[in-house]
Amino acid sequence: MLKKAAFIVALGYAITLGTVSLITLKDLPDVHISFADKIFHFLAYSIFALLWYLAFFYTFNLKKNKALIYAFILAVIFGIIIEILQDTMTVTRALDVYDALANTLGALIASVLIWINNRSQVKNS
């Protein structure tokens, strides 16, 4: 099922992530975790990279390595654009270089884990 819906799921996630990143979020509970915001960015962009990898691989039939590179690049560019839009289009959000770094690290770690998984599948074949 995910194979058929990979693009729709990735696109829906991107729209949701972009929307949540640009709207004013009021009355959020304080989770009392150091760097909770950065952890959220890391995890959100890890998932972003994974979903777009699956979309590029299953929907657009790219080879695994090419799909992985495209997903990583898209995640990084999307994260940077969102940070710039937060600074220019909102009054309650601001560009944060550390958010962009957390986004990039999330996409990078997800990409490395996918790459390792793909390599181990090739060796087992």
Domain hosting residue 75, numbered range: 2-19+36-124
84 DSSP assignment: H
The per-residue pLDDT for range 73-90, each reduced to its tens digit, is 999 999 999 999 999 999
The answer to the question of residue 25 being in a domain is: no
d(CA 68, CA 20): 25
Could you tell me if residue 117 is inside a domain? yes
Q: What is the pLDDT of residue 89?
A: 93
114 in any annotated domain: yes
Contact by Cβ (8 Å): 103, 77: no
The total number of structural domains that make up the chain? 1
Give the CA angle between residues 74, 76, 80 to the nearest 5°.
115
Q: What is the pLDDT of residue 28?
A: 62
pTM of structure: 0.92
Asked whether residue 55 is assigned to any structural domain, the reply reads: yes
DSSP structure string for 6-20: HHHHHHHHHHHHHHH
Report residues of the chain scoring pLDDT below 70: 1-2, 27-33, 122, 125
Q: What is the pLDDT of residue 107?
A: 98
Give the angle 97-14-16 at the CA atoms, nearest 5°.
95
pLDDT the model gives residue 88:
95
